[in-house]
């Protein structure tokens, strides 16, 4: 039986944080308020901002910028854009499709249920997706076996669920790699090795991994650099399918600012969806 993630928000702060929290921080946290204590508008706001008035995204802002700190499971994020507590609270300019829920019964465990959310407006970040999943009684998908990974990927094995960096993207084209649907992996450690510190929001063990590997074949992997995942530091701390040039069932690490809501300026990329996992069939 898996445990559901706990999502809480901290008070506003001028500190610029990445996401770094530890499991100890997670279990001993005090003086937080949970999603039930949000404002009547159903959203968190930064510095009194309103939907559509968020600061630009990209690398962490420089200088004395007021941010809100949002805790998602074991990790704390600093965000400078509105966060909405439920699907019903999303503004009209968030355009999404909730696909029919599909079931999967692994050989070694209980049946779980999966809902793919296609975000055509490309303005739901990993943090926002995790909060929406929690509001429905689920969590971003934890892929703990090759069979489960293959099943979930089969639900999103389509270009419409993957966003591709364009050739003219600056400051770095990223060689037209694709960002796929968000999954429930999050990095909660400052460990020097980028493969360390990853956890599933569900709390399940990470006995299975499927990070994208460097191929250099000019087709699936057009990036001449070694693009073996996980290779990020700092805010490259959330997981989704992708990191190659075609839809793939492998995982990549992404900035938590990808696809954030509001006026984004030069973004760190976009995203077209996420996968919610449920331990029981939702009502």
pLDDT in tens, 29-55: 222 223 333 333 343 333 222 222 222
Q: Which domain holds residue 93?
A: 7-278
Q: Does a structural domain hold residue 1?
A: no
Residue 160 CA to residue 175 CA, distance in Å, equals 19
pLDDT value at 219 more than 60: no
pLDDT range class, residue 169, cuts 50, 70, 90: low
Q: Does a structural domain hold residue 283?
A: no
Q: Does a structural domain hold residue 196?
A: yes
Residue 164 CA to residue 122 CA, distance in Å, equals 12
pLDDT value at 197 more than 60: yes
Q: Does a structural domain hold residue 2?
A: no
Q: Does a structural domain hold residue 274?
A: yes
User: What pLDDT does residue 37 have?
Assistant: 34
Residue 83 CA to residue 89 CA, distance in Å, equals 10
Number of domains in the chain: 1
> Domain of 225: which CATH number?
3.10.100.10
Q: Does a structural domain hold residue 170?
A: yes
Closest CA to 128 of 48, 42, 55, 226: 42
User: What pLDDT does residue 174 have?
Assistant: 65
pLDDT value at 20 more than 50: no
pLDDT range class, residue 18, cuts 50, 70, 90: very low
If residue 134 lies in a helix (H) or strand (E), which one and from where to where? helix 126-135
Q: Does a structural domain hold residue 79?
A: yes
pLDDT value at 136 more than 90: yes
CB proximity list for 198: less than 8 A, separation 6 or greater = 185, 186, 187, 188, 206, 230, 239
Residue 96 neighbours by CB distance under 10 Å: 19
What's this model's pTM, rounded to 2 decimal places? 0.74
Average pLDDT, the chain: 72
């Amino acid at each position: 039986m898996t445990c559901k993630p706990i999502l809480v928000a901290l008070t506003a702060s001028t500190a610029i944080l990445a996401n770094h929290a530890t499991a100890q921080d997670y279990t001993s946290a005090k003086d937080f308020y949970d999603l039930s204590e949000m404002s009547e508008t159903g959203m968190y706001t930064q510095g009194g901002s309103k939907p559509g008035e968020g600061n630009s995204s990209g690398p962490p802002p420089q200088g004395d910028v007021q941010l809100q700190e949002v805790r998602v499971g074991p990790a704390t994020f600093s965000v400078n854009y509105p966060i909405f507590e439920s699907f019903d609270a999303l503004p009209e300019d968030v355009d999404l499709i909730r696909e029919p829920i599909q079931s999967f019964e692994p050989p070694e465990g209980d049946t779980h249920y999966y809902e793919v959310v296609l975000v055509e407006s490309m303005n739901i970040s990993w943090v926002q997706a995790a909060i929406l999943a929690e509001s429905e009684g689920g969590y971003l998908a934890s892929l703990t076996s090759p069979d489960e990974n293959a099943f979930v990927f089969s639900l999103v094995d389509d270009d419409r669920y993957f966003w591709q960096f364009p050739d003219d993207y600056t400051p770095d084209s990223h060689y037209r790699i694709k960002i796929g649907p968000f999954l429930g992996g999050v990095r909660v450690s400052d460990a020097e090795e980028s493969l360390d510190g990853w956890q599933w929001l569900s709390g399940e063990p990470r006995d299975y991994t499927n990070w994208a590997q460097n191929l250099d074949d000019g087709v699936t992997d057009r990036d001449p650099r070694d693009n073996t995942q996980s290779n990020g530091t700092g805010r490259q701390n959330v997981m989704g399918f992708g990191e190659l040039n075609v839809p793939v069932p492998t995982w990549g690490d992404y900035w938590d600012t990808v696809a954030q809501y509001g006026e984004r300026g030069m973004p760190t990329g976009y995203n077209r969806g996420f996968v919610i996992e449920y331990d029981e069939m939702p009502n």
